[in-house]
Chains A and B, each alone.
Chain A
């Protein structure tokens, strides 16, 4: 059976199975276990309504538990075992890992990424959102800047590999250098330390659209009276932007910033495709992938370090969500 046919069958089975499960389980609950007729219909209806939420939640809870909650524990547990997984070595994996030069480079680079990418993407996003705010063709401009969001990280890497190509007849960067009289083409991806920034720019290029969309909506949501008042008081456009608008959308800026930060900690595709982690460009996710299938103990240890870094944001998100529900 070809995978595509298998896929279609799976869709039908999956959708049919889900609908069937929900329909039948509700039916059984209402007709068989707690029928709304017989001696005590009232009590039965109440009991059925106590059970029903869990019927609705059951498949989702199983999937979430198995695919996201269990792995957090499972990964941590696995990271305490050695490479082949048969010997408990405590924090041995973490010890060797932290002593490893490759890991230190990855950690340092990841630190740079977290510092630069969210800042740059939010900055460009805010810039575009503000500039296009009252522009007649603003929506077209925004749509074009938003476009990289649809492109895969691999596709984007390829697009930029072409720009960075080590040949003045192919790569735009070297063509510009050539135009200004550089003798030799330069491989920016092998440029020690700075190559990281060329890789980061790819993610900035992708994420600016995201930041722009959200910040643009936030700018639209600012009450017009505040701006009108500032204009009447004689504020210039820069003052309006920095002193009236930015403070009012600070909350959104923080959300955008943290969302991109989380993303930065997960993206391995760009480094993997562009340099394969060579030339000192390794980051934690790509470092982890280089151990995947080879040394699961080490791989899970790296993954858990990423989890620890993400943890504060996770707690902050949960607190925000709880505060909102109250």
Chain B
């Protein structure tokens, strides 16, 4: 097609540019949060993440030691350097809390009660006061600090906030909830695809109908049911719930795939005396691997990312929180403004799905196509 006259038009660079624009637009939010998760907490609030490769102007406060005061010609003077450790570059400074960056470096600030303060670029300061200096006077200054990147946010969130426990809980919910429905669905899908019996069409229609039943309906009656049979809010309960909720899609996807398998193979196996059980385990199941993989990825992403089912079917104590609940109910409240921590938590929770997504994208796409185009 590329060689046909008219397709290689002047539009091609417009197309390239618009795709680049859309991709950037789609990526920017995620990149922003990823960059922020590595930044120093104070730097995040001092400058936007898009400026993170550049030095950040931050405000600091220092105390001049009143004990160092010397008397020169009747005025009391403190001299010193703001950067007692290391070096830096003062940009602006001030002597009062209300106006911490009133003066440029090198100027002399006139403070109340005839006191003065001079700060040089290299941090040398001179503080003078006609009266005796009793308390350590404060010096406010702003300086450029080089960009700081570290894993500190990740360390903090993993060690102090039980995020590691939430990660394990998510994993605990996800694994059984992904594996068990596949098995149950595979048998049912085989029956619906390759066995003849009365009512098959009705059952397929029921499965298609159940695909769109809103989960919200299931919450109250099932929680009551779980309480009644003694499971209550527990991991067992959420595994069962996820299994039930995942089944329609699993059966639908697998049946659609199995119906497409060549009839000859299955019939010749039956002629050779294989039972349905053998046909299923030896022939159909291995051949259906791509469909099984698609559904496994769906179910994995869905259970890993789920908030609703976890909120309802898991106990509400903090030991049972999965990561989504932890972020939505705990971190956003208690660490609301602490963007470094929030960003790190978000990336811990989306790292595994992203890895699965990028390594198994082929199967995911295939599953999506099988699930909706038909």
| A→B interface (CB under 8 Å) | 3-4, 6-8, 10-11, 14-15, 18-19, 22-23, 26, 30, 49-50, 52-54, 56-57, 59-61, 63-64, 66-72, 74-75, 78, 124, 127-128, 131-132, 134-135, 138, 141, 143-155, 157-163, 165, 167-170, 172, 175, 205, 208, 210, 213-214, 217-218, 224, 227-228, 231, 237, 252, 255-256, 259, 262, 265-266, 268-269, 272-273, 285, 288-289, 292, 296, 299-300, 302-304, 306-307, 310, 313-315, 317-318, 321-322, 324-325
Flag whether B203 is at the interface (Cβ < 8 A): yes
12 sampled A-B residue pairs with Cβ under 8 A: A11-B175, A15-B180, A18-B183, A63-B247, A128-B19, A154-B324, A169-B48, A172-B50, A227-B1, A231-B7, A289-B311, A292-B219
Interface residues in B1-53 (C-beta closer than 8 Å to A): 1-2, 4-7, 9, 11, 15-16, 18-19, 22-23, 26-30, 32-33, 36, 44-50
Within 8 Å by CB of B357, from A149, A158, A315, lies A149
B269 on the A face (CB < 8 A): no
Classify the secondary structure of B's interface with A: helix
**Chain B contacts of A14 at CB under 8 A?**
176, 179-180, 183, 239
Q: Is A154 a contact of B328 with CB atoms below 8 Å?
A: yes
Q: Is the CB of B221 within 8 A of A135?
A: no
- Contact A170 B48, beta carbon cutoff 8 Å: yes
**Pick the contact of A68 from B27, B169, B244, B277 — CB < 8 Å?**
B244
Q: Which of B28, B33, B224, B307 contacts A153 (CB 8 A)?
A: B307
Q: A321 and B368: CB pair below 8 A?
A: no
Which of B77-85, B124-132, B146-154, B185-193 contacts its partner? Answer: B185-193
Determine whether the beta carbon of B209 is less than 8 Å from that of A231.
no
CB-contact partner of B212 in A22, A69, A313, under 8 A = A313
A237 to B305 CA separation, bound complex (whole angstroms) = 40
Q: Hey, which chain B residues are within 8 Å of A255, CB to CB?
A: 372-373
Is B62 interfacial (CB-CB < 8 Å)? no
Interface majority SS (helix, strand, loop, mixed), chain A: helix
Contact, CB under 8 Å: A150 / B354:
yes
**Chain B nearest CB, measured from A49 CB (Å):** 8
Per-position binary interface string of chain B over residues 208-238, scored 1 when its CB falls under 8 Å from any chain A CB and 0 otherwise: 1111111111111110110000000001100
Flag if A134 contacts B1 (CB, 8 Å). yes
Judge whether A318 and B208 touch: CB under 8 Å: yes
| Contact indicator A145/B26 (Cβ below 8 Å) | yes
